[in-house]
Each structure stands twice: as C-alpha cells, then as structure tokens.
Copies of this chain bind each other. A is one copy, B any other.
C-alpha cells in the first residue's frame, strides 16, 4: 500500500497531442457494397470509370434546336419552329433537364423563351451554339480522381459512386476497441435489473463506452469485468492484444488497488497518468506495441469527459476517420461557472433557447448531471471561470 499522489499533471492539449502522435492508423481493409458505405473511409482513391454525362445532356427544360435556325429571334421578331422527334432545319425537339440532346442539335432553348402553339413553338430569343448543353464528360471525365484515399463517405458520395457504375469499394476496416471494465464493486448489467447489493455498482460504463465507440465508427468488444488484481488486469489486456485499441474503465485513481496504470507501464509505454482535466484527472494513456490504451476513471461523469477529450479523437485516428468538429452553439450563461485552477474544466449546462444554465454538481451528483445536461462549456486552464451573462460556446453532448 502506498500513498502516491499525482505528482505530475499533464495538460489536456499536451496529453492529447502525445497520445495521437503515438497512434498509427490501422491499414486493414475490406470490400463492401456502396449501400453499406455511409460513414466508412475509402482505403484507395477512386478514378471515374466513365464519363458523366456519357451523352450530351440538356441543362434545362426546353427545346433542342439548331442555333442557326433561330439566330436573331426576339419577342418582337419571333421565329416559328416545328416540334418533332428529331432535329432538322426548322424543327425542334422537346427535352427535359438531363435528357439526351439529339446529335444534330447544337443548343437548348429554355421553355421560358418560347410560346407553344399546337405542334409549333414561337421562339422569342436566340441562343449561342452549345448553350444549355452539358458535354460528354463535362461533369466527370473518365479516369479523373473522384475521391482520394481517406475520404469519409457521405450519402451524396454513395450516390456519386452509384452513378459511375461503382457498386463495391475498398474501405478501412472498423477499428476493434476492446472495452475492459475493472473494479471489485462492479457487477454485470445483464445479471439482473434488481437493485444491486449495497456497495455493488452496475457496470454501466462498458455499455456507454461501447455505444460511443460504435457512434465514432469503430467496433466495440465488451469484455468481462476484471477484479482489481494486477495479474488479472495483465491477463485481460494480454487477451486483447489482437484488438486495435483498448479502453480500460476504472482502476486509474491513486487508491490502493488502482493497478491499471502500473500494469500499462509494465506491458508497454505509459505516456501520461494524471491530466489537468476536471472531471477526469485520474486518466492514464499509453501504448502497448501498436495498441493505444486509454485508462479512464470509473466514475461515469469523469470517464465520459476523458472519453470525449481523448477517446474520441484517438479512436477516430486509429480507424482512419477524419476528425469532425463538435457541434457548438453560442449561449448566454444564466449563472456563474467556476473552474479549477490549472485544469481544463468541462462544466455541464442545460441549454434553454439561447441561454445556458450551469448545473450545480455538488457531491457525487454525476448520473443526474449527465442525464440533465445537454452541453459542456469547456473552460481553458488559464481562465478562472465565466460570469453570469457571459456568452460562451456550448459543445453539445452527443
């Protein structure tokens, strides 16, 4: 037994930078159909296998014409054309937006510039050759690079791939994230929905971490609860050396049985233990071989903050998924927020219209603070807090 305290305390930004720098994105790939593609990341660049359009295409609803036939046409000097199925001198052919423009036409006249009279039109404007016609390959040229390696596929991209006749793509595999809960007081969630015995806590962190991992594009692997025992923790980590990332929940504090950071140091490299993050100070981070390991506090609110601050960017980097900014909204504080000197503080707030009401989170009010808040105000280390009435950025809790 010892009475260690956190002698060092790393800054949040340094910690994140060091952790991310130690992470090598995975290079495992798989082929998937484009319909499964949303949220996946291309493992190869994509060249257009054909021209788009692959025919001369009308850019307007109107009439395909020979521009020479209507040269000089105007409202006061209209030209009459016959509507037909093909194009010949003095004839025209109705075309919708996107439709095939017959070979002998060299322009499309907008419907708005015509008056239709039976099977004839009165043309009230002239057009230049090429007007309102999309040439073959105008949009996408065959062999042009459409997407680069590393591109995160959106629904609109899937549609683009489909239009090029591409039905399968090679993407990076989802990072497998092993989630290891530790703690002698934990009992598995699925054991029962009854009230746990006094001193026993349901392991809700594994569920929460797993759901976020999935939301961030990776594949969670939820492992059994590990008692607070050095060898058993070591064994649990060893059994997951085939994973791409390990998150250990609990056992990071300076209590007598908090072996996790020591085990991490003995098996690989402990980069940081003790971060200027509030809540979330007892976070530890490191790597074992090529596997990043995030040891987060077992306290749900602290664990959640550590997961957002370090887990999200790290899991995304491991999985080759581009970082996306958080959703933030501006709001005016309806009360003061204090922060802890030397710490980046994640203050929980309730957004109500364009105001943010700080949640009083005295004591262990952690569960309810998560449930009731919808955003964080992130207070930098060098700021003492914010006053009532201050305009702040609120990061929505996803």
Which chain A residues in 299-345 approach chain B with CB under 8 Å?
A: 299-300, 304, 324-327, 329
Docked-complex contact A255 and B111, CB < 8 angstroms: yes
Docked-complex contact A363 and B195, CB < 8 angstroms: no
Q: Is A353 an interface residue (CB 8 A)?
A: no
A351 to chain B: closest CB distance in Å? 10
Contact A111 to B194, CB < 8 A, known contacts A134-B364, A185-B99, A366-B139: no
- For residue A166, which residues in chain B have a CB less than 8 angstroms away from its CB? 193
- For residue A189, which residues in chain B have a CB less than 8 angstroms away from its CB? 162
Q: Is A181 an interface residue (CB 8 A)?
A: no
Docked-complex contact A100 and B163, CB < 8 angstroms: no
Docked-complex contact B138 and A165, CB < 8 angstroms: no
Assembly CA distance A57 to B99 (angstroms): 71
- Bitwise interface map of A from 163 to 175 toward B, beta carbon under 8 Å scored 1, else 0: 1011100000000
Binding-face segment, A10-18, A203-211, A236-244: A203-211
| Copies of this chain, whole number | 2
Assembly CA distance A325 to B395 (angstroms): 11
The size bracket of the interface on A is: 35 or more
Assembly CA distance A41 to B104 (angstroms): 57
Assembly CA distance A183 to B55 (angstroms): 17
A207 partner, pick from B35, B146, B214, B258, beta carbons under 8 A: B35
Contact A96 to B254, CB < 8 A, known contacts A147-B371, A160-B370: no
Contact A327 to B329, CB < 8 A, known contacts A97-B298, A193-B165, A397-B156: no
Docked-complex contact A154 and B193, CB < 8 angstroms: no
Q: Which B-chain residue is minimally distant from A6 (CB atoms)? A: B112
Binding-face segment, A46-54, A67-75, A265-273: A46-54
- For residue A2, which residues in chain B have a CB less than 8 angstroms away from its CB? 116
20 further contact pairs, Cβ within 8 A, besides A54-B196, A155-B208, A159-B300:
A5-B111, A59-B364, A61-B254, A61-B255, A96-B183, A96-B258, A97-B255, A98-B183, A100-B185, A134-B363, A135-B363, A139-B365, A155-B398, A156-B300, A156-B370, A157-B370, A158-B211, A159-B208, A160-B367, A325-B396
